[in-house]
Amino acid sequence: MTTAFRADLLRLTLTPGLGPVLISRLVAQFGSPAEVLQRSAKDIERVKGIGPGRSASIVAGMKQSADLVGPELALADRLGVRLLALGEPDYPPLLASIPDAPPILYVRGVLDPQADQYPVAIVGSRDATAYGIEQAERFAGVLARSGLTIVSGGARGIDTAAHRGALRAAGRTIVVMGCGLAGCYPPENALLFDQITRQGAIVTELPLNTAPNPENFPGRNRLISGLSLGVIVIEAGKRSGALLTAEAAIEEHGREVMAVPGRVDSPASAGTHDLLKSGGAAIVTEPGDVLHILETPARHQAAGTHAVRYSDPQRTEVDASDPPTPEPTPPKEGGSLAAAEAKPRPRVGLSPAQAAILDALDSPKSRDELVAVTGLSAQQLSAELTLLELQSRVRRVGSRLARGH
């Protein structure tokens, strides 16, 4: 994608009155951001959702935004912020699949399509109790060690605990900000965010100097959901913003929603318990519950069919589009059970990395041995092993790994 294309798309995002949906419609109508910028108010008013009343102000706004692009790009360069356009290879594929995906994503740190293949969000109250902090760190740590990327909003309380849990487990984590990346909110997390840029990324759709105003956070919550295979709610009060993230996950993105129960008499978990009682979330009490629930979405993500399978959030049945998990081959009469267990399962739907791991497991091996044999990075190996374990293709034998039954 050219620098000019990215700059033209940025100019559209800096135009007052244009959000992701209208920008998507305009580009689809006229073929490119550059073509949109050349169009008259008469042309633009024909696009759905605009009409004659808005088209003149949009054209005026596009002219004014021409002067904003240069300073925005220069500031991004000084801050070490990368602008990632929708459609570029590193743009998160799960986020790209939502209806209102950000045309431009601002990124500090690194988004790694391989290491971040299986993201899960952990969200909850800013005014978390000691119990909530403990559970957020526990779930984030175990899931990060299993190869999942932890996504949250960088806020005080549960969000911060989730990010710290992932970092302590030497895992990856992504912060979605409700402000521009020229600032830091909350300010006490500046050092934490610097560490996260070395083990993940900080992202936002908002221009660099945008303040952390309350109206930004519903949009931030939608990005948290859109980036993730599923959302875990830990300690949400009756009016918690975490419930908005869960709502977006269910109603807009077709994501899995899970909740960790709290004390039955705790106001901090009242919203969480309402979510569970209404059937809006699956109850999870152990990180293993999360891995089980995310098994099907993870298989679709690995097979490249997630966007198709989950494009309709109202659809809940598993159907023939689900990639099959082949059944193990039974031992022949008179054959040894050990030989049957060691026999590789059919390779339907495996990525090249997963096939390489199974080939290497002709005998049980440690993670370090698998890194040496397969040539995969430790992070990629961890992510691929998680998926293989979910499919029962790989099992643990003490501190080593072996082919599944």
The pLDDT tens digits along the chain (405 residues) read 688 999 999 999 999 999 999 999 999 899 999 999 999 999 999 999 998 889 999 999 999 999 999 999 999 999 999 999 998 989 999 999 998 899 999 999 999 988 999 999 999 999 999 999 999 999 999 999 999 999 999 999 999 999 999 999 999 999 999 999 999 999 999 999 999 999 999 999 999 999 999 999 999 999 999 999 999 999 999 988 899 999 999 888 989 999 999 999 999 999 999 999 999 999 999 999 999 999 888 888 888 888 877 754 443 333 333 444 333 333 333 332 223 233 344 444 567 888 899 999 999 999 899 999 999 988 788 778 877 776 668 887 877 889 876
Q: Looking at domain 93-300, which of 3.40.50.970, 3.40.50.450, 3.40.50.2300, 3.30.70.2190 is its CATH number? A: 3.40.50.450
Q: What is the DSSP secondary structure assignment for residue 282, as one 8-state letter?
A: E
Query: pLDDT digits over 240-272, tens only?
Result: 889 999 999 988 898 999 999 999 999 999 999
pTM for this predicted structure = 0.79
- Report the DSSP beta bridge partners of residue 154: none
Q: Residues, the chain, total?
A: 405
β pairing state of 230-234 and 200-204: unpaired
Count of CA atoms in the C-beta half-sphere (13 A) of 161: 23
Tell the residue number behind the tokens 């293989």, with chain if given.
388
Q: Is 29 exposed, middle or buried (0-12, 13-18, 19+ CB in 10 A)?
A: middle
Peptide bond before residue 297 is cis, with ω within 30 degrees of 0? no
- R_g over Cα of the chain: 23
Angstrom distance (rounded) from CA 164 to CA 150 = 10
Angstrom distance (rounded) from CA 221 to CA 392 = 33
Residue ranges, comma separated, of all CATH 1.10.150.20 domains in the chain are: 3-78
- Report the DSSP beta bridge partners of residue 401: 365, 396
Query: pLDDT digits over 31-60, tens only?
Result: 999 999 999 999 999 999 998 889 999 999
CATH for 337-403 is: 1.10.10.10
**Which sign, positive or negative, has the C-alpha torsion 242, 214, 226, 17?**
positive
Angstrom distance (rounded) from CA 142 to CA 95 = 24
Angstrom distance (rounded) from CA 308 to CA 90 = 20
Residues 232, 139: contact at Cβ < 8 Å? yes
| Domain 3-78, CATH homologous superfamily name and number | 5' to 3' exonuclease, C-terminal subdomain (1.10.150.20)
Query: pLDDT digits over 275-307, tens only?
Result: 999 999 999 999 999 999 998 888 888 888 888
The Cα angle at residue 70 between residues 26 and 177, in degrees rounded to 5: 70
Residue ranges, comma separated, of all CATH 1.10.10.10 domains in the chain are: 337-403
Residues 354, 388: contact at Cβ < 8 Å? yes
Residue ranges, comma separated, of all CATH 3.40.50.450 domains in the chain are: 93-300
Angstrom distance (rounded) from CA 287 to CA 88 = 33
Contacts of 87 (CB under 8 A, 6+ apart): 1, 96
User: Whose CA is closest to 152, among 98, 93, 99, 139?
Assistant: 139
Angstrom distance (rounded) from CA 179 to CA 190 = 14
Residues 272, 260: contact at Cβ < 8 Å? yes
